[in-house]
Amino acid sequence: MRTRARSLTRRGLLTGALGSATLLAAGGALAGCGTEAATRSGAGCVSEDLSGTEKKLTFSNWPQYMDVDESDGAKRPTLDAFVAKTGIQVTYTEDVNDNNEFFGKVRNQLAGCQSIGRDVVVLSDWMAARLIRLGWVQQLDRSKLPNVAANLLPSLRNRSFDPQDQLAIPWQSGLAGLAYNGRVTKEIRTVDELLTRPDLKGRVTALAEMRDTMGLLLQSNGHDPAKFTAAQFDDALNKLRKAVDSGQIRRFTGNDYAPELARGDVAACIGWSGDAIQLGFDDDKIRFVVPESGAMIWSDNVVVPNKATHRGNAERLVDHYYDPAIAAKLAAFVNYICPVQGAQAEMEKIDPELAANPLIFPDEAILARSKVFMALDEQQEREYEGKFQRVIGA
């Protein structure tokens, strides 16, 4: 039986004009409060691991990012299986509602080498990269992560902000690309079509998430979003500015574009794969397209913050979710890209239709054309976000 995805996508919670403005404010606060001066290292902020004597773990995640038993909402089958297998009691909370909001809550403690009361936190690529840059994340023991070593998708290994795959382990991933409503427009294949095709004028939206929209535009210009120059960014931004000034782009959104796309008010957009899956449950004319120039791939990642005292227990949790059978059960609920090799075969036993969905299990051709946005330092983050926000009018 098909598992219907939740009505609100987790990815959409981290964007929008308010979230972007908050990011800029956070960037200013970072500079003003001397956050870079609070950069830590493992030697400078020792975290004692009590996992050998304390069978417990505190886990902070995004809302509706864990499988739930539909007949009993208090049960979380894959997490309950971990508790039963290990005896580790997990305090699970869904209190990560926005990357910047969460950062604001824990920044002072982490800068001061103090505990934030959590052993595991799930954060998006760019925020995980920021914490890593600041030295606020513990290094995991790769020898304790055999399933991760064996099963992490090749496309998600050796990312620029974690080249050894030992600081941020993907929880779930997704694609940013193009989506269109086949009831009101013909097929769209390229970013340039989206930004210039006359029949789409005023019927297009793009994402307020800078890394996704600009990553796609960089690719459309033949540049690598995983490694680009300031001049290449400006070149892509000029393309976006022309589309805004001409009236081609109707507005910039979080995932609130989804109902407009479903109604046909928006004909085509830059959007997320998870939204397309959910809309497709009700209307098979809603299509997601990996642009000819390539897509952006992003992840939400498990990190263990400094001063967390149960790193060993956290490593066991992470490795549990890289068991393909466990990963398939989680993916059947969340409907994002599963980062675990071997889970597709296990999904066949649960839901063959989901197992065949390329937006949950992309083939090698799609993954080869998907890029992770370049990790930015503090100055770049402030500069690029500022330029982007001025163009989109936020």
Confidence at 10, pLDDT banded by 50, 70, 90: very low
Give whole-number Cα distances, 249 to 195, 203, 232, 392, in Å: 7, 7, 21, 10
pLDDT over 90, % of the chain: 73
Checking if the pLDDT of 301 tops 60, the result is yes
The ranges of the chain annotated as CATH 3.40.190.10 are 45-172+298-360, 174-297+376-392
Question: What integer pLDDT is reported at residue 19 of this predicted model?
Answer: 38
Distance CA 120, CA 301 (A): 10
The predicted structure's pLDDT at residue 101: 87
Q: What is the residue-averaged pLDDT of the chain?
A: 88
Three-state DSSP at 390 gives: helix
Position 278 scores a pLDDT of 79
- Give, rounded to a whole angstrom, the gap between the first and last alpha carbons of the chain: 43
Question: Which CATH architecture group holds 174-297+376-392?
Answer: 3-Layer(aba) Sandwich (3.40)
- Going by the DSSP 8-state scheme, the letter that residue 144 receives in this structure is G
- Res 214: pLDDT: 98
Quick check: 16 and 253 in contact, CB under 8 A? Answer: yes
Averaged pLDDT for residues 266-290: 89
Paired residues of 152 in beta bridges: 340
Fold of 45-172+298-360: D-Maltodextrin-Binding Protein; domain 2 (3.40.190)
Structure tokens, 121 = 């936190």
Tens digits of residue pLDDT in 151-184: 999 889 999 899 999 999 999 999 999 999 999 9
Instruction: Give the model's pLDDT for residue 42.
Output: 55
Q: What is the pTM of this model?
A: 0.80
Q: Of residues 38 and 244, which shows the higher confidence score? A: 244
Mapped onto helix, strand or coil, the DSSP state of residue 200 is: helix
Instruction: Assign 312 to helix, strand or coil.
Output: helix
User: Which position has the higher pLDDT, 270 or 394?
Assistant: 270
Lowest mean pLDDT among 16-30, 34-48, 257-271, 361-375: 16-30
Minimum mean pLDDT range among 42-51, 73-82, 294-303: 42-51
Give me the pLDDT at residue 334, please. Answer: 87
Q: How confident is the model at residue 294 (pLDDT cuts 50, 70, 90)?
A: very high
pLDDT for 335: 85
12 pLDDT more than 60: no
pLDDT tens, 97-152? 878 889 999 999 999 999 999 999 999 999 999 999 999 999 999 999 999 999 99
Region 84-103 average pLDDT: 92
